[in-house]
Amino acid sequence: MEHEGERTDGWALYEIFIRARAGLDHKHVGSVHATDARMALEHARDVYTRRQEGISIWVVRSADILASDPADADALFEPARDKVYRHPTFYDIPDEVKTL
Amino acid sequence: MYTQGLDAAGREPAPPDAASDAEREARFQARVDAEEKIEPKDWMPEAYRRTLIRQISQHAHSEIVGMLPEGNWITRAPSLLRKTILMAKVQDEGGHGAYLYAAAETLGVSREELVDQLLDGRAKYSSIFNYPTLTWADIGAIGWLVDGAAIMNQIPLCRCSYGPYARAMVRICKEESFHQRQGFEIMLKLARGATAQKNMAQDALNRWWWPSLMMFGPSDVDSKHSAQSMRWKIKRFSNDELRQKFVDFTAPQAEFLGLAVPDPELAWDESTQHYRFGSIDWREFEDVLKGHGPCNRERLEARRKAHEDGRWVREAAVAHAAKRAATARVAA
């Protein structure tokens, strides 16, 4: 099926993720248009790493990403709100107990 | 950047809840007032979406057209270093255009549609790029004044209520600082050089000063989009406030260069702690916006030619990708 914004002329939108330094996660930085993933990688290199912003690039076709809907935010994330016992600060430990 | 492609699941948009548009608009405004960022898939008033598409695309077009006056000097830069710097700067402008088109696309408009609007003359871009670059000093003046004015406009946009636009502006502002400093350094070299060089710098300042002040847009009393954009926190300061700030920053820099700002009324006002300056020729501004500036036709023709000349490359890229995909399928 054809998606909103999906191009029909052989070009597609790719989302770009960059690892800034070894030890860090890849982070979303933007998007580029390309005819295939390899071209997306080349464009991402020119558009997003002109000043040594990265040592590694991932490209993903935008159409292949499934994103949650903001309208579902409550259903998805609200259940975590009242589970304070999942955090270490929930528990009262006497001061004299060390290294806990 | 969080593109419209993220709707790829093929799911129907959530059915409208019972809330009326007025209620949704009130909720939206409350989020904006609380300095929350609005993201692409969030509900937003149609007018907010339209305003952003107009502003972000005009901004993108300005970056792209802005490559032309400077590109004019790449082959004639006075040294190899200046040439590499100028190429890096012009490449940045292209990159800024790309970030901004991507931000506009998150609002549900395609880049092709925006580019078409530029090429057929429906879309506006910054009036400043319709002035010619006659001498090398113009490259210095553009970096110092034009990029300086752009930074003044763009720094508040880093806090704009629309997430993708704000994030694009953070990246752009980091890079603009290099543009402004390299421009000032060119002016400094010329101002401290031979008499002919100093005259060249003065001439460039004479020609670029007033058009740079016009970059902030019409004065507050005549600015038709300002009030709503301020409410939506797309805009944080008025045109006149930013213009004043620019004059306050720039006048002492001109003095440092030993160059004269072409405004006999420019003077420090001790009581307001600001510079006073003369009135702007708004007729010139309107004329340039309407297409009657010195280079409007040339700029659009250059963009159209580049677009047409690039057509075969775009088509060849599609054919190449298709062929490679077919080969990969056979091999598999």
Q: Which of residues 79-138 of B touch A (CB under 8 A)?
A: 88, 91-92, 95, 98-99, 102, 105, 108, 110-112
Alpha carbon distance B274, B271 (integer Å): 8
Give the distance, in angstroms, between the CA of residue B251 and the centroid of all CA atoms in the same chain: 23
Q: What is the mean pLDDT of residues A14-40?
A: 96
User: Is-contact B137 B200, C-beta < 8 A?
Assistant: yes
B170 chain-A contacts, CB cut-off 8 A: none
How many CB pairs below 8 Å do chains A and B form together?
91
Could you report the predicted ipTM of this complex, rounded to two decimals? 0.84
pLDDT exceeds cutoff 70 at A15: yes
**Helix, coil or strand: residue A39:** helix
**Helix, coil or strand: residue A64:** helix
B320 chain-A contacts, CB cut-off 8 A: 35
**Which among B5, B98, B322 is the nearest to A5, CB-wise?**
B5
Nearest CA in chain B to A62: B5
Beta carbons of B318 and A35 less than 8 Å apart:
yes
Beta carbons of A66 and B9 less than 8 Å apart:
yes
Alpha carbon distance A45, A39 (integer Å): 10
In tens digits, chain B (332 residues) has pLDDT values of: 444 444 444 444 555 555 688 899 999 999 999 999 999 989 999 999 999 999 999 999 999 999 999 999 999 999 999 999 999 999 999 999 999 999 999 999 999 999 999 999 999 999 999 999 999 999 999 999 999 999 999 999 999 999 999 999 999 999 999 999 999 999 999 999 999 999 999 999 999 999 999 999 999 888 777 889 999 999 999 999 999 999 999 999 999 999 999 999 999 999 999 999 999 999 999 999 999 999 999 999 999 999 999 999 999 999 999 999 999 989 88
A9 chain-B contacts, CB cut-off 8 A: 318
What's residue B2's pLDDT? 45
Contact B283/A at CB under 8 A: no
Nearest CA in chain A to B10: A3
Beta carbons of B6 and A67 less than 8 Å apart:
yes
Contact B9/A at CB under 8 A: yes
State phi, psi for A17 to the nearest 5 degrees.
Answer: -125, 135
Contact B18/A at CB under 8 A: no
H/E stretch holding A74 reads: helix A73-77
Beta carbons of B8 and A50 less than 8 Å apart:
no
Alpha carbon distance B193, B254 (integer Å): 16
Contact B5/A at CB under 8 A: yes
pTM for the predicted model, two decimal places: 0.90
**Helix, coil or strand: residue A79:** helix
